[in-house]
Amino acid sequence: MNVLKKYKSPSESATLKTEVVCPNDTNPMGRLQGGKLVEWMDIAAAVCAQTHSEKICVTASINQVDFIDSACVGDIITIHAVITRVFNSSMEISVESFARKVLSGKKYLISRAYFIFVSLNENTKPVNSFLVNPVSQLEIEEYDSANNRRRK
């Protein structure tokens, strides 16, 4: 008898995406364009959502994108996406982006956002997903605060 797993921990679908800032990714000041960073963050969040739900997922909304610092040509960008909570067919993914200076090794936070994805069936209709079982203290805090973010 096949038993369908009902819960997954955030670590099971955590996603790490790496990019290098190239000249075509920057504005006239040589800084990474915000839109390009959000595109990369969206891809990392989509991989996280689809890994968690085992379904095709689409972006429903992006909440509270904070640009904290900038990155320059040659910097290495690391994007970490992790699921925080599932609300039936929709799920919240926390995404943080870091820049690393190649020569100095300095790593710093450049952006943080919450993405909402919806999992779809083969007929492109929303379907329920696995629930989240937070394990670490940070996962529990993110899980608990997701309701407040959803209400806003």
Does residue 1 belong to any structural domain of this protein?
A: no
* CATH assignment of the domain containing 86: 3.10.129.10
5 pLDDT exceeds 80?
A: no
Residue 4 predicted with pLDDT over 60? no
Based on the structure, what is the number of domains in the chain?
1
Can you give the pLDDT at residue 29? 94
What 3-state DSSP class applies to 82?
strand
pTM for this prediction? 0.93
**Residue 3, domain member (yes or no):** no
pLDDT band at 89 (very low <50, low <70, confident <90, very high): confident
Measured over the CA atoms of residue 126, residue 62, residue 93 and residue 51, the dihedral's sign is positive
Residue 105 domain flag: yes
Range of the domain at 57: 8-151
- Single-letter amino acid, residue 91: M
3-state secondary structure of 22: coil
Distance in angstroms (rounded) separating the CA atoms of residues 79 and 42: 10
The burial of 2, by beta-carbon neighbours within 10 Å (0-12 exposed, 13-18 middle, 19 or more buried), is given as: exposed
Kindly state whether residue 2 falls inside one of the protein's structural domains: no
d(CA 65, CA 71): 16
* CA distance linking residue 141 with residue 76, whole number of Å: 29
What's the mean per-residue pLDDT of the chain? 94
